[in-house]
Every structure is written in C-alpha cells, then in structure tokens.
A and B are shown apart, each in its own frame.
Chain A
C-alpha cells in the first residue's frame, strides 16, 4: 500500500497535468468544496498521523493547539530542511513529485486558516527549489493557488524559502528565526510556535512527509488511514536507506513490517551486499542510538522487532532505539564503529549553534576525544570521559540538538565498547587503512 509514492515513477508526474491524471488535486477539490477547515482537522486527528520529522508528535493534535486570535494572521511552514545524516526522503519526494507536497500544503493551510504559507528548503537543494517553484507557478496558472481558489472564497499564497546550510534550522524555532532573516538560534519554549511563531504570529511547523500525507487522508478518511499500520504507528512511512544493503534508496513501507523483512526482502533493501554480514544499524537518522545486529532484528525480550515507533524503542536506550526521521543506515562487518561515531561527533560539533555551553563545549570535547581515539592517540580513560561528557550535555540545553549529539556517542560505547578499547590498546593496528575490530563469536564475524 503506497500513499505518497504510488505514482512517483510515472513520467511527467512533476507536471500538473500528469499529476492530475493520476488523481492529483482531488483532495484539494474535496476539501475546499465539501468540507469545513475543522472537518479536515478532524480527519487528520482520526488518522493518528504522527509527525514524520523525527519527534512523532500527532499532527492533528498539533493543529488543534494553533491559537486563532481575531485579526492576526496564522501561518503554516513546511519543514524541508532535511539535514539529519541518513535522511533523504523529503529530497526524493519533492524532487520527483513536487505536487504531492503542494497539494498537501494547500489542504493543510485551508484546515489551519492560513492565507500565506512557506516551504523552507535547505539551501543546498536549490535545484529542488526550482522544481517546486515551477510547480507552484502551474498551480497559480490553473487557479489552485492565489485568490478565491476554485471559487471557494479561500485565498492562499505559497512561497519557497531557501536555508543557508545549517542543520540546526531543522529545529522548528531555529527555522522560524531563519525564515525571519536571522541566525538559526533556537528559541526558548514556551511560547510554542502554535501561539507565537513566525513574526510572533500563531504558526504550525510540519515535516514534508506529514503534510504530504494529509491529501490521502482527506480523500479516503482518517479511519482508513488508521487501518494501515500497527497500534499507534498508523499509516505508511518513507524510509531512507543508506549503507551496505544491496538496494539503498527511499522506500515507502506500511508501518509494522518486521525489521528483518525490511532489510532482507527483495521488495525492500534486498539484503546485505554480497559476501558480507549485518553488523549494526542506525535506524532513525544519526541522532538515534546505534544497535548491533541482534538487537535491531529482535528485542531484548526475543520478539521480532517491527518498523514502528513503539517496537523500535522497545527496551528504552539500554537495548532499543527510535524510528526518528526514518534515516536507516546499515553497516556490515567492514564498518569501523569508532570512525562512524567520529563523523557523527564532528557533525554535531560543526552544527551546534553555540547558544548553550553544555552543547557548544561538550560537542567540541566529544569530537576531539573521538578524533584522538580514532587516530591512535586515545587513552583508556577517554572512553569513560566520552560517556561522562555525553551525560552532562543530555537534558541541559535549550533545544534537543544537545541530546541528539550525546545519544549516538553514548550508544556506540554501550554496544561497541570493545571496539573503542581495541583502538586505545592497539593503536598501531587500529590506524592501519581499512582495519576493523572483529568481535570474537559475533554474528557478523566472518
């Protein structure tokens, strides 16, 4: 069952005519001609759709928090900053089928009573911005944007805003600062954007995939959507797959398939590349804890792990992880966990906005310590020092980037401490090009 990507490979789907031939803009017609804004919100609530940007907060509930004072404009801002390492699904969707997002933007803006909306796209994706702008122009030309859309009396202007290269602008309040033409420093919350957002007006920020899903929900009803998936993980999810599988790429999966099927079935990743074995997975983008092969396939209780919010987090951080943004990074036995952790540590150090000292200083320390371990200059006490620094960042910062920086380091040491120790004890071996520690008796040891 595909909701977002059913027609994504149809030639010409990026044009409005082909998109319409395949059912495009029927949700817009249905919503604007036959439903009230509150009815649209109600369907989204019933669907159980959870935010696809990483945190998994229910979309309908977020919408119902939007303040609606008289005479004050409200805004919908789409978060297309997509910068979490391992994640490239929004890029894929917007690049191939821009109208899928645009239709969702119109439907969602209508539900929220927004008359101006923005899509904030990371600046590196300037070519995607041009694709979106072309598609938006088509909508204006056909009367699907602008004044009095389809004679409904509803007006909407839609604009695309480029970022400037900063992961932190994916955090919703930093994004709003950036959209106001400032540095991307996250704001203290409360007030939440739903009350004081863009230019201090009530604002909803949602991920590309969340917004795109609303069209299908309008067309088919929230209850139908909720029938897909398992429990509180309703619907489908775009998973970005990178690393050592036979077929990296973006897959739209029904939530609830097993992790094992997802990795090994031909329909999805097609298994680990020939001659190699699964060692570890980062299941939800660089911020979530890495898990070794056994724990990603089965929970500590011995049950098959499912691709759902709940199952992936089963066991907490001791033995579980998170679905996050769905950035699924697969590593085989040739992967040096220390090196991979170093690239993540360097990433968060580079991307910290610098407002809070635990994050600014802590990410710098972690980067430096990881660097010296990887380069054969580590000391035994460095490993515990990393754990200690991570602990001191966690929970002590304005925005969740601090946690996101701490978790991957803490998890790598939790599950692969022997690999860090090997680097410290045998620097001459560990610094050989391509050298990787092999745990005796591990399922991935060849």
Chain B
C-alpha cells in the first residue's frame, strides 16, 4: 500500500489544482473538491484512503470532508479497478434501444459480471444510470469517452482494440 509521502501530483497538475482553487472566493477552496477528486482519480485510477487524504491536505480540509463526498458521488471508485472501466447505462431508454442484449454480450465477451474486473486487470464493468445520451443508446463510457449507438459488433471492435 502506498502512503501519503509517495502520493503527489506531477507539477503541471499541481499548477492546475491551484488554478482551480482560484475559481472560488477566498476561503471557499472546498469547492475545488470535486474537480480535484476527478484529477486524482485520473492519476491513480481509484480514490484510495491515501489519495483522499492527499486531496484533503491540498485543499486544507479534514479528511472526513473528502470521504463524505467521495462516497456520495457514484463516479468515484472506492476500490481498485481495472485499466479500462466500462460504465454502461442500464436505464429505461437505453434498454428500449437494445441495451440489455448489448450489455449481456459485453459481459459474455469479457467473461465477467457487473462490478467485476478481468483476471488480467484490463477491464472492469460497472452499471450506471442514464448518461444523458438516451437517443444515441445503448451507450457506455470509458473514462471521458462516450461510445454510443452500440451494437454487439461495435462492442467487439471496441474491446478488441483496447485489448491490443
């Protein structure tokens, strides 16, 4: 397990953190919490207690204030995840657009269920609610990228490409 000493953003990210803090009035730096947690997760893949403590120290707030928030919002991974986290939308409109079949295919292809990670640590599948892309469904997201109008063939292509 890493400890706080070894957890440190690279210099350019640190600079960005300071810019973000400056978006808010003096003393309101806690507002930077969500943007900085996103940066932390991009850096370390998941929000370990050590990562959250580091974020607290950067913003000069208590660690509990970070835990409270990280556990409330579904985008933050509180357990280790694979290299590519596939978050598919399970809500009604995507199901109408053929989602159930496409997502079943995805699980079969990777040989894992929702919430699991492949043995090689390459893929994690998560189930999420509406991603605001309903008319372009079925849809999943991998990090910042949206994959829309999914079909079983498209899923094969995407996974094959990422498996290389």
User: A residues bordering B, Cβ < 8 Å?
Assistant: 73, 82-88, 90-91, 122-127, 130, 157, 159, 161-167, 178-184, 199, 240-244, 248-250, 286, 327, 329, 331, 335, 339-340, 343-344, 346-347, 350-351, 353
Q: Are A343 and B134 in touch, CB under 8 angstroms? A: no
Q: Are A286 and B92 in touch, CB under 8 angstroms? A: yes
Binds A, one of B2-10, B116-124, B138-146, B154-162: B138-146
Chain A hits for B133, CB < 8 A: 88, 91
Q: Closest CB of chain B to A9's CB: distance in Å?
A: 16
Per-residue interface assignment for chain B, residues 75 to 94, with 1 indicating a CB less than 8 Å from any chain A CB and 0 otherwise = 11000000000010011110
Q: Are B75 and A248 in touch, CB under 8 angstroms? A: no
Known: A124-B75, A124-B131, A165-B73. A180 touches B31 (CB 8 A): yes
Known: A163-B34, A180-B28, A347-B91. A243 touches B75 (CB 8 A): no
Chain A hits for B37, CB < 8 A: 164
User: B residues bordering A, Cβ < 8 Å?
Assistant: 23, 25, 28, 30-35, 37-38, 59, 61, 65, 68-69, 72-76, 87, 90-93, 95-97, 128-137, 141, 144-146
Q: Complex: how many Å from CA A140 to CA B30? A: 25
Q: Closest CB of chain B to A372's CB: distance in Å?
A: 18
Chain A hits for B145, CB < 8 A: 127
Q: Are B134 and A242 in touch, CB under 8 angstroms? A: yes
CB contact between A184 and one of B23, B72, B141 (< 8 Å): that residue:
B72
Determine the residue in chain B with the shortest Cβ distance to A81.
B132
Chain B hits for A180, CB < 8 A: 28, 30-31
Q: Are A164 and B75 in touch, CB under 8 angstroms? A: yes
Q: Complex: how many Å from CA A85 to CA B99? A: 14
Known: A85-B93, A123-B34, A286-B92. A350 touches B129 (CB 8 A): yes
Q: Complex: how many Å from CA A125 to CA B37? A: 15
Chain B hits for A182, CB < 8 A: 30, 68-69
Known: A167-B129, A181-B33. A85 touches B134 (CB 8 A): yes
Of B30, B87, B146, chain A has the most CB atoms within 10 Å of the CB of B146
Q: Are A86 and B93 in touch, CB under 8 angstroms? A: yes
Known: A162-B35, A164-B37, A244-B96. A88 touches B136 (CB 8 A): yes
Chain B hits for A249, CB < 8 A: 135-136
Q: Complex: how many Å from CA A278 to CA B76? A: 39
Q: Complex: how many Å from CA A289 to CA B6? A: 53
Chain B hits for A240, CB < 8 A: 134-135
Q: Are A87 and B129 in touch, CB under 8 angstroms? A: no
Chain B hits for A248, CB < 8 A: 97, 134-136
Q: Are B129 and A347 in touch, CB under 8 angstroms? A: yes
Q: Complex: how many Å from CA A39 to CA B158? A: 53
Of A85, A130, A244, A351, chain B has the most CB atoms within 10 Å of the CB of A85
Q: Closest CB of chain B to A274's CB: distance in Å?
A: 15
Known: A123-B75, A165-B75, A181-B32. A331 touches B135 (CB 8 A): no
Q: Closest CB of chain A to B61's CB: distance in Å?
A: 8
Q: Are B34 and A178 in touch, CB under 8 angstroms? A: yes
Chain A hits for B65, CB < 8 A: 181
Q: Are B134 and A339 in touch, CB under 8 angstroms? A: no
Q: Are B72 and A183 in touch, CB under 8 angstroms? A: yes
Q: Are B132 and A127 in touch, CB under 8 angstroms? A: no
Q: Complex: how many Å from CA A409 to CA B131? A: 22
Q: Are B97 and A242 in touch, CB under 8 angstroms? A: yes
Known: A249-B135, A351-B129. A243 touches B34 (CB 8 A): no
* 3 nearest A-B residue pairs (beta carbon): A164-B73, A165-B75, A248-B135
Q: Closest CB of chain A to B158's CB: distance in Å?
A: 16
Q: Complex: how many Å from CA A85 to CA B94? A: 9
Q: Complex: how many Å from CA A199 to CA B30? A: 11
Q: Are A88 and B38 in touch, CB under 8 angstroms? A: no
Chain A hits for B137, CB < 8 A: 242
Q: Closest CB of chain A to B108's CB: distance in Å?
A: 15
Q: Are A243 and B31 in touch, CB under 8 angstroms? A: no
Chain A hits for B134, CB < 8 A: 85-88, 240, 242, 248, 327, 329
Chain B hits for A163, CB < 8 A: 34, 73
Chain A hits for B146, CB < 8 A: 127
Q: Complex: how many Å from CA A86 to CA B130? A: 8
CB contact between A88 and one of B61, B76, B135 (< 8 Å): that residue:
B135
Determine the residue in chain B with the shortest Cβ distance to A85.
B130
Q: Are B132 and A90 in touch, CB under 8 angstroms? A: yes
Q: Are A199 and B135 in touch, CB under 8 angstroms? A: no
Chain A hits for B135, CB < 8 A: 88, 240-242, 248-250
Q: Complex: how many Å from CA A86 to CA B23? A: 32
Q: Are B69 and A183 in touch, CB under 8 angstroms? A: yes
Determine the residue in chain B with the shortest Cβ distance to A239.
B135
